[in-house]
Structure 1
Amino acid sequence: MLVTHIYFNGQCKEAIELYKQALNASVETLIEDPEHSLVIHAEMLIDNKPLIVNDFGNDDGYSKSGGYQLCVQFDDEAALLRAYEIMQNGSTTIESLQPTDYSPCTVRFIDMFDVRWAFWV
């Protein structure tokens, strides 16, 4: 099984709350460092698919990876629009809401935590 792991460098709690609200994500595991109020390890489910997140690991000086995108396929356009409306605040649009050859509604953007997303129906 391939599982995505994202480092948020101090903003993990905020990202978890945003994804819970926009994508109905559930938190299965949450381990925090109470002294520094940081997330050591969290496991979330988005549409029953795992996502691991934490606040550590992306500042090791080895890479600045931008070659990824998280994709969410929605059952209908209303659900897509609802999620995008919630996540749009502080985001950067890559491709505006539009129909494509493979979907009646798509959007690509980078959220406020610098995570790249593609939504489609």
Structure 2
Amino acid sequence: MSLSFHINFNGQCQEAFEFYAASLQGVIGTMLQVKNSPMSQSASADWQGKIVHANISIHGVELAGADVKPEEYQKPKGFSLLLGLSTADAVKSAFSQLSVGGDIIFPPQKTFWSPCYAIVVDRFGVPWEINCSA
């Protein structure tokens, strides 16, 4: 059995996954555009470059994603992706990357449970909690 996460994006899935690959040392496995799928014949021209399925491995955890039409998109709420890292410096680095163009909720700092913890909503609307587990 495995458990992973699937995130819907407002037309920015490819940009988001490329950003995560660069920022978090992720490895993109799949990036399937509508134009290369059976859906291409029924999709509009402006939708051909959108992503129907993508996946990326970040520190051994798979994250899947896809673009959804604007009228179907809802910003993620009620959850966060929790990124556990081994050092405070790694938390600060990941936070620095993910916060570019995003919203800082809780800047990196020591808490009673962690030497360094932070919360950010990235520029794609995805909420992240970043925790040092050391």
- TM-score normalised per structure 1: 0.88
Residue in structure 2 matching 1:95, options 84, 89, 106: 106
Structure 1: 5+ residue stretches without partners: none
Structure 2: 5+ residue stretches without partners: 36-44
Distance 2:117 2:98 in 1: 14
Task: Give the corresponding residue for 1:72.
Answer: 83
Task: Give the corresponding residue for 2:56.
Answer: 44
Distance 2:63 2:70 in 1: 16
Which range moved further: 49-58 or 16-25? 49-58
Aligned sequence identity (%): 29
**Structure having the higher Rg:** 2
Summarize the alignment of residues 99-110 of structure 1 with structure 2, pairs less than 5 Å apart: 99-110=110-121
Runs of 4+ in 1 over 6 A off after TM superposition: none
SS in structure 1 opposite 2:22? helix
Q: Could you tell me how far 1:59 is from its partner in structure 2?
A: 4.0
Which range moved further: 28-37 or 66-75? 28-37
Q: 1:64 to 1:111 in 2, by over 3 A?
A: closer
Distance 1:92 1:43 in 2: 24
More helix by share: 2
Summarize the alignment of residues 2-41 of structure 1 with structure 2, pairs less than 5 Å apart: 2-34=3-35, 36-41=48-53
Q: 1:65 to 1:90 in 2, by over 3 A?
A: closer
Deviations 1:18-69 (A, max 9, x none): 10111111111121124521111011111111110111267438x7651010
Alpha carbon RMSD of aligned pairs, Å? 1.9
